[in-house]
Amino acid sequence: MTRSRHSYQPRLGHGLPHDPLNAIIGPRPIGWISSQSASGERNLAPYSFFNCFNYKPPVIGFSSQGWKDSVANIAETREFVWNLATRELAVPMNESSASVPHGEDEFALAGLTAIPGTQVAVSMVAESPVNFECRLTQLIQLEDAAGEKLEQWMVLGEVVAIHIDTDLLEEGIYQTAKANPILRAGGPSAYYAISDELRFDLMRPDARKTSG
């Protein structure tokens, strides 16, 4: 098949009105991360580089451009919480991304309720329907292909407690779309929601063999 393609080397620039990377690798789940300094100062911030990387034990992670308060707090206390960002919470989630002076409480800034974790000394977003309490497993400064250090830090944490609103469980099965999660896309403002109308199912080849 013949197709027209726009090709480029990222180090030389993309030659487009906006870098397409974030739009291509998307939509992406949002790492809405709460953390706390050793002195008890709360922090809440969304990260668009976020995902889950292991089942047992569950390990999630996010990547921060620059040594921000979230990373500093987690390096200090080795604890954090991930809070599910939903359509209903999109505006306060966005407000919590504001660049504010060190020590300012983004929970208060965004009008959110902070409740204590059960396994970690970090506050959770009470309005969020799902919260993961985490303990730091690795803090990695990323490097390029030449081995040069980047101003980018990946934070990985083991999930030690999970809290789910029971309204999202039907016969014990979590309903992904019912939570109305929002996902980050490209550009300065693009987000997406999901719905059951857009769902489709595929069985892995190995699973098909087992069931057959």
In a domain, 174, yes or no: yes
Assign 28 to helix, strand or coil.
strand
pLDDT at residue 48, rounded to an integer: 94
Bridge partners for 168 per DSSP? none
Residue numbers of the domain that contains 118: 25-196
Bridge partners for 163 per DSSP? 131
Distance CA 91, CA 30 (A): 13
Distance CA 42, CA 110 (A): 13
In a domain, 37, yes or no: yes
pLDDT at residue 210, rounded to an integer: 67
| CA distances to 33, 64, 127 from 157, in Å | 11, 14, 22
| Position 41, amino acid | E
What pTM did the predictor assign? 0.93
pLDDT at residue 41, rounded to an integer: 96
Model confidence over 56-67: pLDDT tens digits?
999 999 999 999
In a domain, 134, yes or no: yes
pLDDT at residue 201, rounded to an integer: 92
In a domain, 178, yes or no: yes
In a domain, 20, yes or no: no
Q: What CATH number corresponds to the domain at position 37?
A: 2.30.110.10
pLDDT at residue 211, rounded to an integer: 63
The angle formed by the CA atoms of residues 204, 209 and 210, to the nearest 5 degrees, is 95
pLDDT at residue 207, rounded to an integer: 77
In a domain, 2, yes or no: no
In a domain, 7, yes or no: no
Model confidence over 74-104: pLDDT tens digits?
999 999 999 999 999 999 999 999 998 888 8
Structurally, how many domains does the chain consist of? Answer: 1
Which residues of the chain register pLDDT less than 50? none
In a domain, 6, yes or no: no
